[in-house]
Each structure stands twice: as structure tokens, then as C-alpha cells.
Amino acid sequence: MCGIIGCAGRTDDTLDVLLSGLEGLEYRGYDSAGVALANGSLDVCKREGEIERLQRAVDDSLDGADESDAGGSDGGGHRGPVGIGHTRWSTHGPPTDANAHPHTDCTGDVAVVHNGIVENYEELKTELQARGHEFESDTDSEVVPHLVEERLADGASFEDAFRAAVGRLEGSYALAAVTADTEAMLAARSDSPLVVGVGDDAAYLASDVPAFLEYTDRVVYLEDGEFARLESGSWTVTDAEGRPLDKSVSRVEWDAEETAKSGYDHYMLKEIHEQPRALRKALRGRVDELAGSVEVASLAGLSPSSVQFVACGTSYHAALYGAQLLREEGIPAQAFLASEYATAPAPVDDDALVVGVTQSGETADTLSALREAHRRGVETLAMTNVVGSTATRECDRTLLIRAGPEIGVAATKTFSSQAVACNLLASTLTDREDAREVVGALRDLPGQVQELLDDSRAGQVADRFLDGAGYFFVGRGHHHPVALEGALKLKEITYKHAEGFPAGELKHGPLALVTDETPVFALVTGDREQATKTVGNVKEVEARGAPVVAVTDGVSDAGRYADEVLEIPETHPRVAPVLANVQLQLVAYHVADKLGRSIDKPRNLAKSVTVE
């Protein structure tokens, strides 16, 4: 969701750093953007819409154009040793220039950017208005610069005023603030991520590492309740009482090139094609094909009586898949939507394990669910992609999926890597008779995904069914979560109606919607009972005139009853869903591309959802 970027110490190109950082945060989802630079005065420029519109406004201002409608003070200088920028995803008030961040106080000398929600903002706003403060926006965030302004007027230092303002807030926040005449940036976090970038002669601040990765790969992760002060070539972190903290500096393994499009038209297509590499990384050093064994150091000694997965969106579908793998091996396992679990947790025994599946490690609902599990004394495991994320720091154990940076809002390679991680977890906790076969299938998976990517007919299938009135995805067993995920991908980036079902549920309601304008994607692999029954469901929709696309390995006769076939290599039943999912990712991508959709930044959606 909303993104923060800050820079202290690069006087001549601070603005360029901010604008570049905002572009690096676009994947989080946003509807407006803005910047503020301090250099004796405060220059603010912000715009509703995409960053390109902000860039044009800044360029016009530098050329001396009249920018009186830009919001803030738009002084036209846009130079300074310290600055902050923001991409906003609307919560309080529609996307407008006035509601865009940064927000300023009455004097125009304090600028603040904010991620999260100030739950008591109405009370604070009423109080401030009663004392004569005038507000320009509909946001909850604007109370913060006014609170700082009051303490500055009473003679407090910038840091003391900022701390006092933060102390009045209830809710979640990642905050950064600058003033006109101070060459320092202040920041604080509570339930919303912030990371400091440590450069040789400058310090950076961001919601996520890609915002400043081209400038430094050395980072310091802030924890809840911590404050940071960034100045030219220096940084300090303190606790709520102002006591200095000894924070470790980590190195990020990603490089800036990994976050570029590398010649692909969209990040999503690039990340679909990165899946063979991501899967190899997920498996490296963890599977021994000769021994037929899986060894993951972070899972050593783990032997829970039951497992509860908590997750949201695509990660929830991976969790459903993981829970099914464990149940097959006799381990009681369930998958819960994290937003529901956090407010109505399921009963759990002392020896249970709660697994938070979260690509970013910062998803607010999933963190809340994990914290609820922690409060009940249950062991927790973060299954995530991001080293140093909040989930990794708060959970007892971590299983990294190693997918590398994923910029497209619609998750692709992270789902595949999560599915592999679920297999690693299941193999660690159980002793299968066919363990060697499962490990062999996992080792073959990257090459099979590459084979599929090289030969897929998904583009032709998308052409044929581009004008569908709705799309159904059906599967049984391991394929049910993939049917849900296939539908989610299509609706996320095409804005077409799509639904996923267990194949057997078609006749219990959804069949009423089946027409010759509703393509049905049926996932059928192997020739066991589930495949036979799914073929029967294919015949049901075929008899009602619905076009059928079979996603199949060709072992069953599903292709005989289908209008189109998307082939996948034959493999172990536990691994086949990963291959089927890649075909569905490609279908969603090609439909969206042919419809001219905003594939990497679908409307109303955000990559990292940090509000509940």
C-alpha cells in the first residue's frame, strides 16, 4: 500500500532520489504521489494520479511555471539536503491533489508523510480546529504536522515535538517528517514497515528496500516503537524514551537489476518467466534426491501435534494447498483467512504450530493473526520471501521461500515458491513411503516449468475466449487451491468476473451460471478417482454448451471433451498443481494484455497490504 521514501545528505540530487524511489514503490499500489524538500524553506509538490504527473508538475515548477494548484507550498526551488516522498493508496478521502502526501502544518514549515491509519484522528482534528488550526485535506494523516507545529510553537526541538506528536496517535503508522530549517529527517513506526538505508555519505528511509536499492544494499529494519533520525552521512535509532539502540546493519541479497523489467513488457510476465530460477533457489541445499530426504535447518526438531496456516489472498491459496498436504499425512491441519483468525482464532493445543504465509512479511492481517497465536503461547513459523521483514523478526521460526523481488502486484513466482515451501514443510514433518519420488519430482519441477513456458498455448487460448462473460475454474484435491488462484489472477488483472470451485460443487449452485459464454477451465491430472470425477464434471458443463479448457497432463481422457487443451508435463500428484498454475498465470496475463489492462498496477489493489 502507501509508500514512503526519504533521503538525507545528497544536496544536489535529493529530488532525483525521491522521484526514483517513488517509482521503485509503484508496485505497492497508489493513486497519488508527492515530495517535500527542506532547505531553509519547504518546497512541496504533490499530484493525484501517476508519478509521471508529479514529475511533470515538478519540471514545470523548476521551469518557473505557476504551480499554485499543486497543493502545499510549491516554491519552485526543489533543492535541499533532506527530503521525503510518498505514494498514497486512499483510505481517508478520495484521490485528489489536496489529499496526497506530504501534508503540512498551518505555517508550511513542517511536512509529514504517513502510512497506516490514525484511529483517533477525528478527536485530534476537532481538538486542533478548536485551537485555530486549518485543515486542507480529508485525511487522517494531516493531524500529525499540526501536532508537531504546536509543540514547536511552545519552544520544543523538532525531535521533541515529533515524539510528542507520535505519542498522541492511536492506530498504525510509519511516519517521516522534515522541517524547513532542519537538515534532519525524523521517522517512527508502529505496525507499518520502515527500513533505513545506510549509504557512504547519505542516509535513506523507505517502506521497502527497492525504493533505495540502487544507492545502497545496507539496511537497518525499524521495530515497532522505535524512532530514527537521519542526517547527512549519519543515522541513529532510539526507543520511545529516547535511549539509543544498538541496531545491526544487514545486507540485502537482491540487486537493482533484479527489480528491473529486463526487456519484458511487464513485471508480471518477467516474474512468471523467473519461476524456474526461483524454484531452484527454493530447493537449493534443502533436498537430497539420492537419499529421498528434505533437510531445512530452520525446521529442525519441529514436531507439532497440529498445524494452522494463516494467510490472505494468493498466500491463502498456498496455505490451503499446504494444509491438504499435511492432512494427507495424518497431521491435523487447517488454513484460515488471517483477517478472520485474528478476531476469532480457532482452538489450538499447546503443541500446535501456526504458520503465517506472507509474501512480504508485512501483511497486517497475517501479522495480527500471528501475534494472536503468540499471545496464546503457540509456536509460530513465518513462510515468507523477505529477509528481515516483521514476520521473520516476530516469529519463532522462518522458512524463506527465496523467490527474489516480486514487483508486479499480482503474485506469481511467490505462489509457486510458497507451494514448494509447503512441500518442504510437509516432507520435514512426515515420512512418506514415496518420499524419494516426491523429492525427485521437486527437483524436476524447475525444468518442467521452463518446458511449459517455452511451449505454452496460453496466448491462443486467451485469444479464443477473450470475450467471455465470466470464467469458471474447477479442480479437485490439490487442484482446488489452484482453481481458486487461477480465478483470482484473472479477476485481479483483467477485471473480468471469475470464480474458482471444487469441481464437485458445480452442480450445487454454480452450474446455474454456466452458458456458452462462460469458459470453464478444468484442472485434471493423472487417472485416479479425482481425475475421473473431474472429467465427469467436464461433461456436465459441456452438455450445457460451455466451452471447456482442459489443463492436463494427458493421462486421463479430459482432452477429448475439451475445446482447448493446455498441456503440462506428467509428474507426482503433489507437484502437478504448480505446473497447472503456471498455465493459468499465462492465460490471465495474455487476456489482460489483449484487453489493455494495467497489468503490474491493477486498479484499487496494492502489493503489500499494511492496513487491516
Q: Give catalytic residue positions.
A: 2, 607
C-alpha radius of gyration, the chain, whole number: 26
The DSSP string of 540-579 is HHHHTT--EEEEE-SSSSGGGG-SEEEE-----TTTHHHH
49's grid cell: 494520479
Distance of CA 285 to the CA centre of its chain: 26
Dihedral sign (CA 88, 93, 96, 98): negative
The angle that helices 435-455 and 275-283 make with each other, rounded to 10 degrees, is 160
Residue whose C-alpha cell reads 530514527 in the numeric block: 228
Query: CB neighbours (10 Å) of residue 391?
Result: 25
Amino acid, single-letter form, for residue 554 = G
Report which DSSP code applies to 26: G
176's grid cell: 517521516
Burial letters 428-456, b for 16+ CB under 10 A, else e: bbeeeeeeeebbbbbebbbebbbbbbeeb
Q: How far apart are CA 470 and CA 518, in angstroms?
A: 5
* Secondary structure element (H or E) that encloses residue 204, with its range: strand 203-206
Structural contact between residues 262 and 401, judged by C-beta atoms closer than 8 angstroms: no
Residue whose C-alpha cell reads 522462518 in the numeric block: 398
Q: How far apart are CA 167 and CA 169, in angstroms?
A: 6
CB within 8 A of 318, min separation 6: which ones?
311, 357, 415, 418, 419, 422, 481
Q: How far apart are CA 205 and CA 536, in angstroms?
A: 56
96's grid cell: 485528489
120's grid cell: 483517533
Query: CB neighbours (10 Å) of residue 333?
Result: 25
Report which DSSP code applies to 244: B
Give the β-pairing of 498-502 and 471-475: parallel
CB within 8 A of 584, min separation 6: which ones?
473, 482, 485, 486, 489, 490, 521, 551
Amino acid, single-letter form, for residue 180 = A
Report which DSSP code applies to 505: G
Measure Cα distances from 96 to 3, 44, 72 in Å: 17, 15, 13
CA-based nearest residue to 85, from 185, 158, 159, 160 = 185
Give the β-pairing of 471-475 and 307-311: unpaired
Distance of CA 280 to the CA centre of its chain: 22
Tell me the sheet residues that pair with 113: 176
Report which DSSP code applies to 359: S
CA-based nearest residue to 511, from 528, 536, 480 = 536
